[in-house]
Structure 1
Amino acid sequence: MAKMDILVGLQWGDEGKGKFIDKICPNYHVVARYNGGANAGHTILWNGHKITLKLLPSGIFYPHITNIIGSGVVINPTQLNQEIEQLASISPDHDVKKQLLISQKAHLVLPTDKYRDMYMEDSELFRTIGTTKNGIGHAYANKMLRQGFRVGDIYSADFAHDVEQVMRREYEQLSHLGQALPDFNEIRRVFMADIERLKELAIIDTEIFINKALKEDKAVLAEGAQATMLDIDHGTYPYVTSSNTVASAACVSLGVSPHKVGEIYGVLKAYNTRVGEGPFPSEIIGDLGDDLRIKGNEFGSNTKRPRRIGWLDLPALRYAIMLNGITQLSITKSDVLNGMDIVNVCTHYQIEGKLVYDFPTAQQINEIKPHWKVFSGWNTDFSKIKEREQLPYELDQYISYLELELETPISHLSIGPERDAIISLK
């Protein structure tokens, strides 16, 4: 029986997970997305086009791969249909619908969820955390309150009536609160039209499909969205996403036993970024951070908001590796640091006069003073590099140091934005 491999981000998102998945996809028969919603964005360069996948799994570009949206994902049918249309316009011969399976247990994001999100994010009555305003948190909240709708519900004879009742209630409440809203009938019309298009896709018990695939010795990859430090339980709460992002969540969402897990890949940038509010111990403030943001094109895939920039943070990475049980690492964007005189790494923190090597509790995190190890920078023509032996000495030393400190092998290194600009280090 085959094992299910899992891929997760190890920082605050935007690590380049989509590119690494795209690199290893040919080795898999099934790629399954296990968490999040359209608040995620995996960007891939494909056939000369820059494509950001928000709901579709990253294996969708390979005709031999079955792509699954698991039960732990919340689905906005309008956005899903838009993604399918986008790929169809770029490659008319590429039949996305034949490659896609959707869990009937996945929950729906209602149109009013987005406006509830917008209201709370902009209101002084609520904590501002910097959400994407896609209504993801409200869809998960309704799931936990047992007030949500699952994809399988769309076949119920009462679905249209029940969902309209909920949407109208939310609409009236938001109108009373002063939230700007489009016409209700138009919202309902568009949503129900997209529900009908959703019925054109294969909606099944995906957990049965995945377990059968593993039993038939087919290779399965579970794809995570967002990243470890945004996990609802283990991240920097409350500045986190609305789902569990760690590797173990793949087993819950996809209905696969932990006994059936194989490799657990962790993806990290050669530096650090995060979008929105929240603590960021290794943040770079000033011109250097601004320069790296522009050089690395560090703007949100969905929102286009500028990402905050920081140096690599070893305590946070050790924490993320521990939580996920990472077996191998992939580093992206080493080329963005190309040409710098020095590269810093946060090795530990000082909190209340004491040196701390573990990631701290929420109560301590705003009192952190990072301690740095300084590396010589590197300057090379990355377009000529095909293997580790061709890396500049300084970058090779940087990688070797990280492997030693993180006690985890680094198997791949991304050296440019192009789809194939990624080399094997082993």
Structure 2
Amino acid sequence: VQCVIGAGVVIELGTLVGELRGLRERGIDTSGMLISDRAHLVLPYHKRLDELEEQRREGDEIGTTLNGNGPAYADKASRHGLRVCDLQRPEVLRRKLAIEVDAKNHHLTSVFGDPPLDFQALYEELIQLTEFIGPMVIPTEVVVQEAIARGERVIVECAQGAMLDIDYGTYPYVTSSSPTAAGACQGAGVAPSQVESVIGVYKAYSTRVGGGPMPAELLEATGELIRERGREWGVNTGRSRRTGWFDAVAARQTSRLNGITEIALTLLDVLDVLDEIGICTGYRIGDRSIGHVPALLDELDGATPNLTFLPGWKQDTTEARSFDQLPENALAYLKAIESHLGAPVRYVGVGPDREQLIDRLAI
């Protein structure tokens, strides 16, 4: 098995190297890790600018994770970002990094009154980290295409979620890339015509971190119960996630956008204790109902959800290992989701362990 970090990813080298070292210390072989030479780098000035810009927007924050991804993608789009391939030529790295640090230091000091970054210290740190990842850096799109030509199985995974897509998500409360099937193809160097199936991963309820409208949000005890049972806290920030009923409007939009052929529904067991379970089937804005997520989010700020309620199953599902072991009302809930999204539910998660992922087609 080979693991590939593709060209569409922005990489914070210190974090990546730390994780790889941790795996090696636990006796895990990391020789199968490959890193695209075209991937862009997240550098310390990106993270600092991310923090300062979010502070500047006090009261109107985007809700960024403060990892520097937005500023790194901004540099990429502006065509002056540093890439992994630049690390392989120290003289190229020094020249490009000097230009960027000079520009970013001017911005940090003149706009935010922040102290400048030390160019030499950053350069030396990058050189040191490059020694660790050097053997992993290759044109990964070639490896992926050769694997496809040999008839091998290739799985491409997107980070985040489709409603955070820079074009079709809830802008501006989005990420800075395209976490969709199309974006995955672009990042991995795969043509859309080469994709055989698209698995859409959905929670059995809705969650959101940070700002932005969420019509199906649950602000009372039920929302808190789902948050506690689902352990809904952000991995990077530790912030509690907002929770709500399954939003079939947003889900259907992402299903169509991604051309989903199969659904993986996770965290079904979180809903085991509820008497009834809601599905948001539309949004009411003033005196009209709509069945899509509008581009202008101000329209959604005062929207109320059109809800359909199904009876809960009030049974523990964590021991189920096949669809026929799921309660009848749970199966009815899955069928309702299938009808809204236009794709079959193949996988259902009823707990965090591998054996708690039910495959409908498993023999």
Partner Cα distance (2:57, 2:262) in 1: 44
Q: Given the alignment of the two structures, is residue 194 of structure 1 paired with residue 129 of structure 2, yes or no?
A: yes
Q: Given the alignment of the two structures, is residue 389 of structure 1 paired with residue 324 of structure 2, yes or no?
A: yes
2:227 aligned residue (293, 300, 312): 293
- After superposition, residues 18-167 of structure 1 pair within 5 angstroms as 65-89=1-25, 91-92=26-27, 94-96=28-30, 98-124=31-57, 128-156=61-89, 157-167=91-101
Aligned residues: 358
Deviations 1:205-253 (A, max 9, x none): 1111111111111110111011100000000000000001110112222
Contact 1:104/1:151 (8 A) holds in 2: yes
The corresponding residue for 2:196 is 262
Alpha-carbon shift at residue 312 of structure 1 (Å): 0.4
Partner Cα distance (2:59, 2:327) in 1: 50
Q: 1:358 to 1:161 in 2, by over 3 A?
A: closer
Contact 1:107/1:150 (8 A) holds in 2: yes
Contact 2:321/2:355 (8 A) holds in 1: no
Partner Cα distance (1:107, 1:317) in 2: 30
Alpha-carbon shift at residue 402 of structure 1 (Å): 1.4
2:260 aligned residue (310, 326, 330): 326
Residue identity in the other structure for 2:43? L
Alpha-carbon shift at residue 123 of structure 1 (Å): 1.0
The corresponding residue for 1:237 is 171
Partner Cα distance (1:383, 1:74) in 2: 37
The corresponding residue for 1:14 is none
Alpha-carbon shift at residue 187 of structure 1 (Å): 4.4
Q: 5+ unaligned residues in a row in structure 1: which ranges?
A: 1-64
Alpha-carbon shift at residue 405 of structure 1 (Å): 2.4
Partner Cα distance (1:314, 1:173) in 2: 43
The corresponding residue for 1:47 is none
Alpha-carbon shift at residue 360 of structure 1 (Å): 2.5
Q: Secondary structure at the match of 2:137?
A: strand
The corresponding residue for 2:205 is 271
The corresponding residue for 2:291 is 357
Alpha-carbon shift at residue 407 of structure 1 (Å): 1.6
Residue identity in the other structure for 1:140? Y
Q: 1:163 to 1:412 in 2, by over 3 A?
A: same
Contact 1:110/1:167 (8 A) holds in 2: no
Contact 1:115/1:181 (8 A) holds in 2: no
Partner Cα distance (1:159, 1:187) in 2: 11
Deviations 1:53-97 (A, max 9, x none): xxxxxxxxxxxx1111111111111111011022223x21x221x
Structure with the largest fraction of strand: 1
Question: For the aligned residues, what is the CA RMSD?
Answer: 1.9
Alpha-carbon shift at residue 125 of structure 1 (Å): 8.0
Q: Given the alignment of the two structures, is residue 409 of structure 1 paired with residue 339 of structure 2, yes or no?
A: no
Q: 1:383 to 1:277 in 2, by over 3 A?
A: closer
Contact 1:346/1:372 (8 A) holds in 2: yes
Alpha-carbon shift at residue 185 of structure 1 (Å): 5.3
Give me the TM-score of the superposition, normalised by structure 2: 0.93
Residue identity in the other structure for 2:39? A
The corresponding residue for 1:39 is none
Partner Cα distance (1:236, 1:122) in 2: 21
Residue identity in the other structure for 2:249? P
Q: 1:396 to 1:274 in 2, by over 3 A?
A: same
Give me the TM-score of the superposition, normalised by structure 1: 0.80
The corresponding residue for 1:341 is 275
The corresponding residue for 2:302 is 367
Alpha-carbon shift at residue 403 of structure 1 (Å): 1.4
Partner Cα distance (1:306, 1:125) in 2: 19
Partner Cα distance (1:125, 1:281) in 2: 23
Alpha-carbon shift at residue 175 of structure 1 (Å): 3.4
Partner Cα distance (1:314, 1:358) in 2: 9
Deviations 1:132-181 (A, max 9, x none): 11111111111111111111111222312431442244235313423367
Q: Secondary structure at the match of 1:380?
A: coil
Q: Given the alignment of the two structures, is residue 253 of structure 1 paired with residue 187 of structure 2, yes or no?
A: yes
Partner Cα distance (1:75, 1:337) in 2: 36
Alpha-carbon shift at residue 188 of structure 1 (Å): 4.5
Deviations 1:91-132 (A, max 9, x none): 21x221x11111111111111110011110111489520101
1:376 aligned residue (311, 317, 320): 311
Partner Cα distance (2:93, 2:242) in 1: 43
Q: 1:103 to 1:178 in 2, by over 3 A?
A: same
Q: 5+ unaligned residues in a row in structure 2: which ranges?
A: none
1:207 aligned residue (141, 158, 165): 141
